[in-house]
Amino acid sequence: MPRILALALALVIAASQAAAAALPEFTDLAEKAGGAVVNISTVKIVKREDQMQEFFRFHKRGTPFDDFFEQFDRYFQQRPDQRPRKERSLGSGFIISDDGFIVTNNHVIANADEVSVNLQGGQKPYPAEIIGRDPDTDLALLKIKTDAKLPTLAFGDSDSTKVGQWVVAIGNPFGLDHTVTAGIVSAKGRIIGSGPFDDFIQTDASINPGNSGGPLLNMNGDVVGINTAIVASGQGIGFAIPSNMAKKVIAQLKDNQKVSRGWLGVTIQDVDENTAKALELDSPRGALIASVLPGQPAEKSGVKAGDVIIRIEKDDIKDANALLRRIAGLAPGEKIDVTVWRSGREKKLRVTLGERETRELAQAEQPDEAQPEAALGLALRPVDPREAQALGMDSPQGLLVTGVAEGSPAQDGEIRPGDVIIQANQQLVNSVAEFKTILSGDAMKKGVLLLLIQRQGQSVFRTITLPAE
């Protein structure tokens, strides 16, 4: 019996040792990378006024107490606690060149009046110059001046990073210098609604306030992401900007102090199953063109509303977000091949890109569902000249939705009174008779109806599955 217990104990110990040996060792990585991670401090000057002072100022006009309130104002102006105050905040960053260029998040330094950088083990902070900022990707580039040759980190290849791989985050959460946490890549390509080019790496390595701008490292010590966002209500959920996106942005900020992006001049939306069926596309893929802006690169190159962009150069386009990122990654003036799906087949167009402004490259609001005429619960009539003028149209066109029946397919599809149907199955419709012809012909044959709708100044496509009868 003692021999059996001893053997069992030996097996347990061996298994524990084997499991421990399988876990990665982060000591060398933390030591080598830590010196290039910095603490970023910002100061914002805020002018403050006492709420009570504001209350009295608001109420004083035209009252018998004007003299009193003037004395009240003078009192507040003389109070020392009414002087501007300083708001301080902390973040992280990392050095990418030994002469002092530092990467961080834009939100770490946005609106700051003073920015300073503390190096690991440093005795004093260094004032930092903001070289450039890119709010769309939440990235910023700083520069400090020092005679010392600084330790650096290099960007790795985020595309080759796989879900399940170990990663390490280094930063200053809650002001705690050079905190090291480890975890795995939980997911890639996350869209969290923070900006037009969302493509985040999700990780369960602990990320907290103050980690923003710090590096997410692979086991080789390469930066595969810039820690940016957390889910406040959850644990083990953090997001990092992929390094392959970041290094393009940072290179432009370093060279030009700004980022220039390609621009097509379209509004786009995803392709769902019904839309794919209506367009005779083999699967839901690509980016559907809801509208083409007049005089912009897409229109000049022959792109039309109703086209589906399925390929840029040799890269397949998965969805609208992928198109946004792909075009934004190209330079203004660049000539590219754009493959669209039109009338049941592929068509290649040559497009010379424009330059994207911050407000441009709109992504159409995601479509609701929709459905057709009387049997589908729609009341329609042509748009009259007065309505066309109110809707901002050059001339009357399309069919105005004047009513949607309760419990109808149209209501279920969230078609709304006031919508204007411009096209049905990619054919212009200006009369109810034209609409019915399309409905009973092409739409019934396909089993779906594709509508181009103008709603509150925006063009969106709706796809409708027709009842079997």
Q: Which residues are catalytic?
A: 107, 138, 212
Pair 264, 361: CB distance under 8 Å:
yes
201 is in an annotated binding site: no
255 is in an annotated binding site: no
Residue 469: burial class (beta carbons within 10 Å; 0-12, 13-18, 19+): exposed
211 is in an annotated binding site: yes
Question: Which whole-number Å values give the CA distances from 62 to 55, 68, 421, 461, in the listed order?
Answer: 15, 12, 54, 56
Q: Which residues 6+ apart lie within 8 Å of 227 measured at CB?
A: 92, 169, 171, 207, 211, 212, 213, 214, 215, 216, 238, 239, 240
Q: Which residues 6+ apart lie within 8 Å of 268 measured at CB?
A: 287, 288, 289, 290, 309, 320, 323, 324, 363, 364
230 is in an annotated binding site: yes
AA identity, residue 459:
S
Task: Scan for tokens 């049905």, then name that residue.
Answer: 424
Pair 461, 275: CB distance under 8 Å:
yes
Integer Cα distance of 167 and 184 in angstroms = 5
Integer Cα distance of 449 and 464 in angstroms = 5
59 is in an annotated binding site: no
228 is in an annotated binding site: yes
303 is in an annotated binding site: no
370 is in an annotated binding site: no
Integer Cα distance of 243 and 321 in angstroms = 18
DSSP code for 333: T
Binding site members for substrate: 107, 138, 210-212, 228-232
Binding site members: 107, 138, 210-212, 228-232
